[in-house]
């Protein structure tokens, strides 16, 4: 086993449990916990929280030793928690109760927050405590805190709780016996989030929108039209104008003046259209944005302020960050990324690190922008070609060694895009979803038919593509899909990457590594040109976009408008497999 994969706990039948996840959806936290528990030898099956009777049926079918609720939006029915231990993951400190835990913590500027694993009972979030973890708060979006600090703390707490449960000797602590500083907090309403553009300072507005990101957003108005705001970032220079005025656009964002400064509004959802969904703000208000002056960002800006694309150098290493909201990469974003990459490889460096974003490295083509287009089929085609162009540039780079450094997760086309780099290094907590199967019968492109077998061989490539389950970085390393799974928390990842990248750039055999890369590419091109892989992939994609099978368009629509689940997919609900045999009761 390669040195830096995380060790697995031995699969000990004495401690192996059947665990049922009751969850609103298989979100990133649920995926991570699923992977961690399976890596420790537990059988984990999943049921989405669709109705009490469906949950009861799942419990009857699986007869779980333990139920874990990583992400629930409503209470577990008494018919279940009365008879089985149910552990709820609550994103709050001990004693904190209510559904807007993180929202209040962010908006009120709590310096430290936490995750508590408590047992379900009749009172919401008031059950006995099995484990709790704390973390220092960062000034960031709720979705980012959730995907980083909360996820890491929840993993530690759930693993401790499961171990304690399986020991059979641990008694959880009743809430009343803790010195908890947490308290019951009412759901946060839009009036608690309201922005007063005349009075609020920039920092206050950012805290309000951060506390509402990525759901529900802050109800406000742009150009006199009701909308929800998401994804805001401070700007350094305040152009002249009254507070509240929208004065410029950059990429997909709009610059709005505050009392004491200015901020970029990255995303918005209009409320004047019933079927509207979240879009880059300048796309949601395309007509109004077109009249504003464009204010492009400097790729090399080093003032710590926001821009989607950022390039910096340290010694012989160039770092290209692409912090695209939700990891979604639209046609325009792919084109801008390509230009930035062209700039990076023209520099006198040796190694290029493709950093992606903190929360996601990439999730492939931008499904919301596609859904909003006049012709979703045409926009799908443009977007896949734009992402393919960038992938080809990376594959064909013969002046540098390239590294995809994944601090955040990557899914679908984004996971394959990473393979275009010479090396793929991921944080050990990263989850990959290297498959297109959640999006109808989408065949996929990004040169995956070249990149995947090249790394793992044809058989394993077939298995990976057929597997719809999330793949944790340590397992991806064992499968040779990636080259390193670096076991550090998110804030320490960049430093680890920098150390490795510097070593790569300074390695004595750098020139021969580059020669070997060029020779391999030339060999591969002679066997089958890249253009042929692309043409084959795109001929299948053409059918997905323009052909008779509507499954991609239907799946995309439901994904974008967030249709509630009506069933749990079969590959997750193992207890619903016809071949599943419930073990005999002891
Ligand atoms: N385009 C647009 N939005 C996307 C996206 C994409 N390709 N991938 C993710 N998102 C958005 C989600 O809608 C969600 O939006 P929100 O801000 O309103 O919450 C947000 O990103 C987070 O996604 P979520 O599904 O909640 O995250 P996750 O970590 O639980 O799951 C994935 C990650 C990648 C498994 C899942 O988002 C997914 O299947 N995405 C689609 C990938 C895809 O099919 N891409 C196109 C083919 S290349």
Distance 367 CA to ligand 1 centre (A): 8
Torsion 276-281-283-285 (CA) sign: positive
Instruction: Please choose from 32, 326, 373, 379 the residue to mutate so as to test ligand 1's pocket, defined by most ligand atoms within 8 A of CB.
Output: 326
Say if residues 315 and 306 touch (Cβ distance below 8 Å). no
CATH number of 18-187+568-576: 3.40.50.170
Residue with tokens 């602590």: 173
Nearest to 339 by CA among 297, 306, 303, 377: 297
Residue 80 parent element (H or E): helix 78-81
Q: Work out the burial of residue 240: count CB atoms within 10 Å of its CB; fewer than 13 is exposed, 13-18 middle, 19 or more buried.
A: exposed
* Cα–ligand 1 centroid distance for 362 (angstroms): 9
Distance set, CA 569 to CA 25, 45, 55, 436 (Å): 11, 11, 14, 15
List pocket residues of ligand 1, CB cut-off 6 Å.
Answer: 27-28, 214-215, 278, 326-328, 363-368, 409, 411-413, 433, 436, 438-439, 442
Instruction: Provide the CA 72 distance to its chain's centre, in angstroms.
Output: 18
Q: Distance (Å, rounded) from C-alpha 190 to C-alpha 216?
A: 9
**What is the residue whose two structure tokens read 């395309």?**
286
Indicate the class that CATH gives domain 190-271+278-289. Answer: alpha beta
| pLDDT for the residue 190 | 98
CA distance 269 to 228: 5
Strands 401-406 and 351-356 turn out to be parallel
Q: Which residues contact 331 (CB under 8 A, 6 or more apart)?
A: 366, 369, 379, 382, 383, 386
Q: Under CATH, to which class is 309-489+510-548+554-559 assigned?
A: alpha beta
d(CA 403, CA 501): 8
Please give the radius of gyration of the chain, using alpha carbons only, rounded to the nearest integer.
24
Residue ranges of the chain that CATH labels 3.40.50.170: 18-187+568-576
Q: Give every residue of the chain whose pLDDT is below 50, as ranges.
A: 1-10
Which of these, 356, 468, 469, 443, lies nearest to 39 by C-alpha position?
Answer: 469
Q: What is the DSSP string of 252-284?
A: TEEEEE-SSSEEEEEEEEESSSTT---EEHHHH
Q: Ligand 1: which of 283, 363, 385 to mutate, judged by most atoms within 8 Å of the beta carbon?
A: 363
| In contact, 337 and 388? CB cutoff 8 Å | no
- Counting ligand 1 atoms within 8 A of each CB, the residue from 71, 228, 325, 411 with the most, and so the one to mutate, is 411
What pLDDT is attached to residue 584? 61
Please give the number of the atom of ligand 1 that sits closest to the Cα of 384.
48
Candidates 146, 55, 160, 40; CA nearest to 101 is 146
Residue 184: φ, ψ to 5°? -70, 130
Neighbouring C-beta atoms of residue 578, cutoff 10 Å: 5
CATH 3.90.226.10 residue ranges for the chain: 309-489+510-548+554-559
pLDDT tens across 220-254, in order?
999 999 999 999 999 989 999 999 999 999 999 99
Rounded to whole angstroms, how far apart are CA atoms 319 and 514?
Answer: 18
Classify 417 as helix, strand or coil: helix
Q: What is the DSSP letter of 327?
A: G
User: Which residue CA neighbors atom 36 of ligand 1 most closely?
Assistant: 411
Kindly give the distance from the C-alpha atom of residue 215 to the centroid of ligand 1, in angstroms, as a whole number. Answer: 14
Q: Which of these, 56, 62, 61, 105, lies nearest to 79 by C-alpha position? A: 56
* 100 C-alpha to ligand 1 centroid (Å): 22
Delimiting residues of CATH 3.10.25.10 domain(s) in the chain: 190-271+278-289
Residue nearest to ligand 1 atom 22, measured at CA: 326
The tokens of 188 are what? 């946060």
| Residue-level pLDDT at 525 | 98
DSSP state of 304: S
* Closest Cα to atom 18 of ligand 1: 214
Distance between CA atoms of residues 413 and 428, nearest Å: 20
What confidence score (pLDDT) does residue 579 get?
A: 63
CA atoms within 13 A on the CB side of 585: 5
* Rounded distance from Cα 326 to ligand 1 centre (Å): 7
User: For the chain, what's the residue count?
Assistant: 586
Q: At what angle do helices 448-456 and 458-466 cross, to 10 degrees?
A: 120
Q: pLDDT above 90 covers what percent of the chain?
A: 88
Q: How does pLDDT run across 102-114, given as a tens digit for each residue?
A: 999 999 999 999 9
Nearest to 378 by CA among 392, 365, 390, 389: 365
Could you tell me which residues come within 8 angstroms of residue 192 by beta carbon, excluding any fewer than 6 positions away?
Answer: 107
pLDDT of residue 302: 77
CA of 360 to the centre of ligand 1 (A): 10
Task: Give the Å distance between the CA of 338 and the centre of ligand 1.
Answer: 22
What gap in Å lies between CA 147 and CA 152, rounded to an integer?
Answer: 8
CA nearest ligand 1 atom 43, residue = 412
> What is the DSSP code (8-state) at residue 577?
-
Atom of ligand 1 nearest to the CA of 367: 1
Enter the tokens of residue 196: 């007063």
Nearest residue (by CA) to ligand 1, atom 38, is: 411
CB distance 464 to 452 below 8 Å: yes
Q: Which tokens in the block code for residue 334?
A: 């792919």
CA 349–ligand 1 middle distance (angstroms): 34
The string of pLDDT tens digits covering residues 8-63 is 344 566 678 999 999 999 999 999 999 999 999 999 999 999 999 999 999 999 99
Within the chain, what is the greatest distance between any pair of CA atoms? 75
């Amino acid at each position: 086993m390669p040195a830096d994969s995380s060790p697995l706990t031995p699969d000990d039948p004495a401690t192996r449990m059947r665990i049922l996840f009751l969850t609103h959806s298989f979100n990133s936290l649920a995926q991570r916990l699923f992977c961690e528990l399976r890596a420790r030898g537990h059988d984990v099956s999943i049921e989405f929280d669709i109705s009490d009777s469906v949950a009861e049926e799942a419990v009857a079918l699986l007869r779980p030793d333990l139920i874990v609720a990583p992400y629930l939006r409503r209470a577990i029915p008494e018919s279940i928690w009365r008879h089985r231990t149910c552990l709820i993951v609550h994103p709050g400190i001990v004693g904190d109760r209510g559904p807007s835990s993180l929202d209040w913590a962010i908006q009120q500027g709590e310096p430290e927050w936490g995750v508590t694993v408590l047992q379900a009972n009749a009172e919401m979030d008031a059950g006995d405590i099995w484990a709790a973890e704390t973390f220092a708060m960062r000034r960031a979006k709720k979705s980012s805190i959730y995907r980083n600090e909360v996820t890491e703390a929840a993993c530690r707490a759930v693993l401790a709780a499961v171990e304690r449960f399986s020991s059979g000797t641990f008694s959880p602590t009743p809430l009343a016996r803790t010195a908890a500083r947490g308290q019951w907090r009412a759901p946060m309403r839009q009036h608690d989030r309201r922005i007063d553009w005349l009075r609020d300072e920039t920092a206050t507005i950012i805290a309000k929108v951060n506390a509402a990101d990525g759901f529900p957003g802050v109800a406000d108005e742009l150009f006199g039209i009701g909308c929800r705001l998401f994804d805001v970032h401070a700007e350094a220079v305040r152009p002249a104008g009254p507070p509240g005025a929208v004065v410029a656009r950059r990429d997909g964002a709009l610059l709005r003046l505050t009392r004491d400064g200015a901020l970029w509004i990255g995303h918005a959802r209009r409320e004047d259209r019933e079927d509207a969904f979240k879009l880059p703000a300048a796309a949601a208000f395309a007509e109004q944005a077109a009249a504003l002056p464009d204010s492009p960002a400097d790729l090399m800006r080093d003032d710590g302020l926001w821009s989607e694309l950022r390039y910096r150098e340290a010694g012989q290493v160039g770092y290209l960050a692409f912090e695209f909201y939700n990891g979604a990469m639209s046609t325009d974003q792919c084109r801008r990324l390509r230009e930035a990459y062209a700039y990076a490889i023209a520099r006198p460096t040796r190694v290029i690190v493709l950093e992606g974003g903190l929360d996601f490295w990439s999730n492939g083509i931008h499904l919301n922008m596609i859904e909003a287009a006049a012709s979703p089929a045409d926009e799908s085609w443009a977007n896949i070609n734009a992402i393919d162009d960038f992938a080809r540039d990376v594959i064909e780079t013969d002046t540098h060694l390239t590294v995809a450094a994944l601090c955040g997760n990557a899914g679908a086309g984004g996971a394959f895009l990473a393979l275009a780099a010479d090396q793929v290094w991921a944080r050990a907590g990263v989850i990959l979803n290297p498959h297109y199967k959640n999006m109808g019968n989408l065949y996929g492109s990004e040169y995956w038919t070249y990149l995947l077998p090249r790394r793992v061989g044809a058989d394993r490539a077939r298995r990976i593509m057929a597997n719809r389950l999330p793949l944790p970085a340590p397992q991806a390393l064992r499968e040779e899909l990636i080259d390193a799974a670096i076991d550090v928390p998110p804030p320490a990842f960049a430093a680890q990457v920098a150390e490795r990248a510097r070593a790569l750039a300074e390695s004595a055999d750098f020139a021969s590594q580059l020669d070997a890369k060029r020779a391999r590419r030339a060999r591969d091109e002679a066997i089958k040109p890249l253009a042929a892989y692309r043409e084959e992939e795109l001929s299948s994609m053409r059918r997905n976009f323009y052909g008779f099978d509507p499954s991609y368009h239907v799946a995309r629509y439901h994904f974008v408008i967030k249709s509630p689940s009506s069933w749990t997919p079969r590959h997750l609900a193992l207890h619903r497999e016809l071949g599943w045999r419930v073990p005999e009761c002891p």
